[in-house]
Structure 1
Amino acid sequence: MSHNTVNNEQYFNTDHLKADLKGRSVRGGAVTIAAQGSRFILQMGSTVFLARLLAPEDFGLIGMVTVIINFAGMFKDLGLSTATIQKAEINHKQVSTLFWINFAISTITAFVVAGLAPVVAWFYKEPRLVWITLALASNFIFGGLTVQHQALLKRQMSFTSLAKVEIISMLLGVVSAVISAWYGLGYWALVLMQIATAIANAVGVWVACSWRPGVPLRGSGIRLMLAFGGNVTGFNLVNYFSRNLDNVLIGQYRGPQELGLYAVAYKLVLLPIQQINTPITSVALPALSSLQNEPQKYSKFYYKAILWISTLGMPMTGFLMASADKVILVLLGKQWLGAVLIFQLLMPAAFNATIGVAMGWVYQSLGKVDRQLRWGIVSSIVNVILFLIGVRWGAIGIAAAYGLSRPIFLVAGFAYCYQGTPLRLIELAKTLLQPALASFGAAVVLIGINKLLPPGINDVIALLLDFVLYCLLYFAIWIVLPNGRSTLFEMLEVIKTFRGKAKRK
């Protein structure tokens, strides 16, 4: 057996992960959350800098193209990365074949998007979009080179390597954008940020993962993996269409100025949540996939992951809801105050997003992606109807229609998702009791306190005071709730255990 074969085989077997799954999950979660925190700082810092160097119209132009770019971007993956992570047993031939499928589709997608550049410009009546679309189309080729390498690193729970690559590539992208914007390149700064990040990420992933693809082979046993990936991609496509139709409608009927306000408000609403959801999902999906044949252990791990994701995510949303005007004023400046109401109306969607991602964990780890596709089709049809009604009132109408409808979607979604699984809605409700009530209660009290405070306080100081007060209120309400103190102590013990293991190493 050659040295290269030995190196390749180390990425396929996952039996060794079960010996210390809890420890790996905790350590992986800590690493990825720390990395996501770094990414959040970079994203927030770049947003703050670029919002002052660029105009809302610049963000609106990129937002118009981003709709089609992100939609086409789903074809570089085809759900095959998730198939590689989820499958109990895989081999070099299968992953090699999937790699070349991903790369071929990504290359074709790049040429298709480039060919659509004049159509995009015609649709929005904005000729500048031609060159923006052509430039961003190149990212698909770099993305196609990384799909299976990233999947193998996630399958082996190599989160430290993934974190290093993400942070370094993003840092390079942000630096290139800030420098470009400083020298007056306008919206091209946002284009260069995406291209620089994509190139750096491709190089970094190949350095971090020593696996190298072989030649594609027919009869390598990937038919079931392609079917799995097809269902995942189908869900992503219909979900993406319905979730991004809002940008298309606002851009078409209201123009880049209003779309810029909406796009930045939407990004700011979900940005903190993504810092929690992304790393925990990266840990939870491979861990749950390895437990798919052990229902009791699966349920126990799932509810603990839900507790962590809601405990970290829900208070972020509650704080943003209570201090929306100060957050936008301090971070973006007075020229963005028109986004405050949009921001507030989207808050219910952000609150639901803290745990909505956990439905995907179930569908994908248990191989029930056909059900996920069916749910996606139904929910997408309803979203389209809501957007078509809401666009009559512009960005505010769409934000209201989408945000206020999310609680109903959340309950219905989990009820359908849990059918035929060892999971139960009542257990989910018990798990969410403390973080949900503490987050919402702290927000309500903080809003009341702010109404009693005299005006004229410095904006930055006022925001810092809000943050400190919210944290104190959140933990105070948590502790007085039934079983709140014991649950909090259990979570702290997990952190202490992790820190102890880290010190011994």
Structure 2
Amino acid sequence: MSLSENEKTISFALEGFSWNTAGNFARSFAGFVINIVLARLLGPEPFGVVALALLVIGVGNLVIESGLGSALVQQKEIDRQDIAFVFTLQMAFGIGLAVIFAILSPWLAEQFVAPTAAPVLQVMAIILVLQAFAQVPSALLRRKLDFKHLQIAQITSFFIGYLGFGLPLAFAGFGVWSLVAAQIIQSGLNALMVFIFSRFSPAFTLKRARHLTRFGLQILAANIANWIIQNIDQAVVGQRFGVKNLGFYSRAYFLNWTPTGIILTSAQTSIFSAVSRMGKGTDTIRIFRGFMSAFAIFFFPIYWLIAMESTSIIQIIYGNEWMPAAALLKPLAVAMPFLALVGLEGPVLNGLGKPQYEMQAQWVTAFFAILVLTIAAQFSIQATAWSIVIIYIFRLFILSVMTIKVLKISWMQLLRPILSGLFMGILTVAVWNLSNYFFTAKITDILLSFARSTVVIFTWMLVFWIGRAWLFPEFSTLVNLIKRDKKES
């Protein structure tokens, strides 16, 4: 592939990243506000019940996708039979798993000591069918780098689901069913819209496409391990400490995931599509290291500031009823930058057609996570939350080993952008503690929190501005690519 074609691909990828970020920001910011209102209206337990349902649905969705949607994006050439084969399998999986999920719902509710959750789980099983229907159309849009229409579908369905149904039903006193209705309507509308935008014509066949299934199964294995790593903590909390504590934990995780999800999911889809087209080379390494630097510079200081201000954040956002979540928000915030950095490595490996490397790294981490969480849960829910820090650091190390091997780069090339961000995070903690020491005036906790945060952010901006050229060269490279893209457009 010539340089001009690579530059065109990078331009499309950056444009897709912009659309994804804008769409995710709009949806996540609205979701953030809506969830605050719902949390104050409904309390912790309904969120715990829905979190339990989404755990199981998440597993089902992995099986439904089976890595086949990613295979449609990654393969250089596909035909109608490939598309029909993937659609047939995914719909069969979706319908079959929905039936199984509905049948097992009473047993699942009993395992988590939440018998009233059974009907909720049974009704939410329909989401598996809706998500199955959306898989192929979404993959075809990603293949074309048409992130604009993907975001329109996701934003529109979210607002209609939650603003049109979730909030009104919550105010009307429907409790947990307001959350259920919002989830189902959102999934249904999203499936309908991506179907229309992709101009997909459904067809069915079981004629095997080996080139897709081989790649897809490796992606599936990696995704299952990834799901275990990112959700086993909620399963352990729900089973060991009850649904109400799961509500506290899930909201603390939600607060941390919201900023991460806005940016990370945008970058992942763009990087995967771009790397799939460009292949291994200097441009892929530049894009990867640039995103690593940007993520490290942003996530370490922001999240470690959130960790320091966890008590004030929970009190301001959710109120006194949710204060137990503050002790969980802190460790999860410390861990989140490591999750964000890991999230950039998988798309590179998969885009280069090496999903087996991510699969191996994720399964090693999954077994490690199960061991660490099992031990931590014997002590307390707070210990369980702190164990996430250990798990995510271990995960970053293992996946970095695989990324270095595939890209053929040195440890220093990978570590440099991470260390620059880590420096900013340590600086954030140091300045926060100094501010806390010097602000001795008798002011309210909220004003004290605002004063400390203002000093930290000002210091962060000053250091970044002064040292951006020599502290963050990889980030500067990414900025130059974006500037070039804007000039050419």
TM category (shorter chain) comes to over 0.9
Instruction: Report the alpha carbon displacement of residue 405 of structure 1 after superposing the two structures with TM.
Output: 4.1
Name the structure 2 match of 1:321.
307
Instruction: Report the alpha carbon displacement of residue 427 of structure 1 after superposing the two structures with TM.
Output: 0.7
Distance in structure 2 (CA, Å) of the matches to 1:320 and 1:365: 33
Instruction: Report the alpha carbon displacement of residue 422 of structure 1 after superposing the two structures with TM.
Output: 2.7
From 248, 273, 276, give the equivalent of 2:235.
248
Q: Deviations over 1:43-94 (max 9, x none)?
A: 2112211111011112122222222221122122111111111111112221
Counting only pairs closer than 5 Å after superposition, residues 366-405 of structure 1 correspond to structure 2 as 366-405=352-391
Change in CA separation of 1:434 and 1:16 when aligned onto 2, cut-off 3 Å: closer
Distance in structure 1 (CA, Å) of the matches to 2:107 and 2:284: 48
Name the structure 2 match of 1:194.
183
Instruction: Identify which range, 69-78 or 208-217, moves more after superposition.
Output: 208-217
Aligned residues: 485
Distance in structure 1 (CA, Å) of the matches to 2:152 and 2:179: 23
Q: Deviations over 1:127-168 (max 9, x none)?
A: 211111111100111111111111111111111111111111
Change in CA separation of 1:136 and 1:489 when aligned onto 2, cut-off 3 Å: same
Counting only pairs closer than 5 Å after superposition, residues 25-424 of structure 1 correspond to structure 2 as 25-175=13-163, 176-216=165-205, 218=207, 222-292=209-279, 294-424=280-410
- Do 1:32 and 1:163's aligned partners in 2 also have CA atoms closer than 8 Å? yes
- Do 1:272 and 1:316's aligned partners in 2 also have CA atoms closer than 8 Å? no
Instruction: Report the alpha carbon displacement of residue 497 of structure 1 after superposing the two structures with TM.
Output: 4.4
AA matched with 1:328: I
Name the structure 1 match of 2:461.
475
Distance in structure 2 (CA, Å) of the matches to 1:229 and 1:485: 37
Distance in structure 2 (CA, Å) of the matches to 1:51 and 1:452: 35
- Do 2:45 and 2:244's aligned partners in 1 also have CA atoms closer than 8 Å? yes
- Do 1:269 and 1:347's aligned partners in 2 also have CA atoms closer than 8 Å? yes
Q: Does 1:440 align with 2:426?
A: yes
Change in CA separation of 1:379 and 1:199 when aligned onto 2, cut-off 3 Å: same
Distance in structure 2 (CA, Å) of the matches to 1:395 and 1:53: 25
AA matched with 1:164: I
Please list every run of 5 or more consecutive structure 2 residues that lacks an aligned counterpart in the other structure.
Answer: none
Change in CA separation of 1:297 and 1:267 when aligned onto 2, cut-off 3 Å: same
SS at match of 1:378: helix
SS at match of 2:173: coil
Among all aligned residue pairs of Structure 1 and Structure 2, give the percentage whose two residues are the same amino acid: 20
- Compute the TM-score of the two structures, normalised by the length of structure 2: 0.92
Distance in structure 1 (CA, Å) of the matches to 2:104 and 2:441: 52
Distance in structure 2 (CA, Å) of the matches to 1:252 and 1:289: 40
AA matched with 2:168: I
Instruction: Identify which range, 279-288 or 38-47, moves more after superposition.
Output: 38-47
Q: Deviations over 1:199-224 (max 9, x none)?
A: 110111112111323342525xx212
- Do 1:25 and 1:284's aligned partners in 2 also have CA atoms closer than 8 Å? yes
AA matched with 1:340: A
- Do 2:362 and 2:399's aligned partners in 1 also have CA atoms closer than 8 Å? no
Change in CA separation of 1:342 and 1:447 when aligned onto 2, cut-off 3 Å: same
Distance in structure 2 (CA, Å) of the matches to 1:493 and 1:291: 19
Please list every run of 5 or more consecutive structure 1 residues that lacks an aligned counterpart in the other structure.
Answer: 1-14
- Do 1:102 and 1:144's aligned partners in 2 also have CA atoms closer than 8 Å? yes
AA matched with 2:425: S
Change in CA separation of 1:177 and 1:424 when aligned onto 2, cut-off 3 Å: farther
Distance in structure 1 (CA, Å) of the matches to 2:476 and 2:230: 38
Q: Deviations over 1:440-490 (max 9, x none)?
A: 312331233134324664565555545443332222222444703766665
Distance in structure 2 (CA, Å) of the matches to 1:461 and 1:386: 38
Q: Deviations over 1:258-314 (max 9, x none)?
A: 22111211221222111110001111100011111x422221222223233334433
Change in CA separation of 1:172 and 1:444 when aligned onto 2, cut-off 3 Å: farther
Distance in structure 2 (CA, Å) of the matches to 1:137 and 1:237: 19
- RMSD, aligned CA: 2.4
Instruction: Report the alpha carbon displacement of residue 39 of structure 1 after superposing the two structures with TM.
Output: 1.4
Distance in structure 1 (CA, Å) of the matches to 2:349 and 2:358: 6
- Do 1:295 and 1:422's aligned partners in 2 also have CA atoms closer than 8 Å? no
SS at match of 1:392: coil
SS at match of 1:367: coil
